[in-house]
Amino acid sequence: MEPTTLQAWQERIDALFGAKDRRRGTAGNFMWFLEEVGELSAALRAETLAEQTLEFADVLAWLMSLANGAGVDLDAALREKYGSGCPRCRLVPCNCAVGDKP
């Protein structure tokens, strides 16, 4: 059965790759994550939506691997940081100036 929540997907990524990720270590996993970010960058410039979609999945899966290694629940992290709106102005949508970092 396919996962239906972000937390369940993070658990699925751990079930799929957690043992290998732990053997590889954070530094190696982070390098793979950055490689996938580079592939997403290239896909956004020149590839089809279908190809871009796969690269988004790869980046998110590697981000989940890094979070698993660090013991971070991404669903809880998003709720904590963005659950009440913009972390700076508290509005939805954000009303901060375009140049401000949220």
Binding-site ranges for Zn ion (CB under 5 A) = 86, 88-89, 94, 96
Separation CA 90–CA 46 (nearest Å):
36
Taking the least distance from each CB to Zn ion, the nearer of 25 and 102 is 102
The residue sitting closest to Zn ion, measured at its beta carbon, is 86
Distance, CA of 46 to CA of 69 (rounded, Å): 32
The two three-digit tokens of residue 90, written as one number? 């508290």
- In whole angstroms, the minimum distance from the beta carbon of 96 to Zn ion comes to 3
Q: Between 79 and 88, whose beta carbon lies closer to Zn ion? A: 88
Place of tokens 């809880």: 76
Least distance CB 82 / Zn ion (angstroms): 10
Q: Which is nearer to Zn ion, 63 or 94 (CB)?
A: 94
Q: Is 11 helix (H, G, I), strand (E, B) or coil?
A: helix
Residue among 56 and 82 whose Cβ is closer to Zn ion: 82
CB of 84 to Zn ion, least distance (A): 11
CB of 79 to Zn ion, least distance (A): 17
**Cα-only R_g, the chain:** 16
Task: Report helix angle 6-24 to 74-82, nearest 10.
Answer: 120
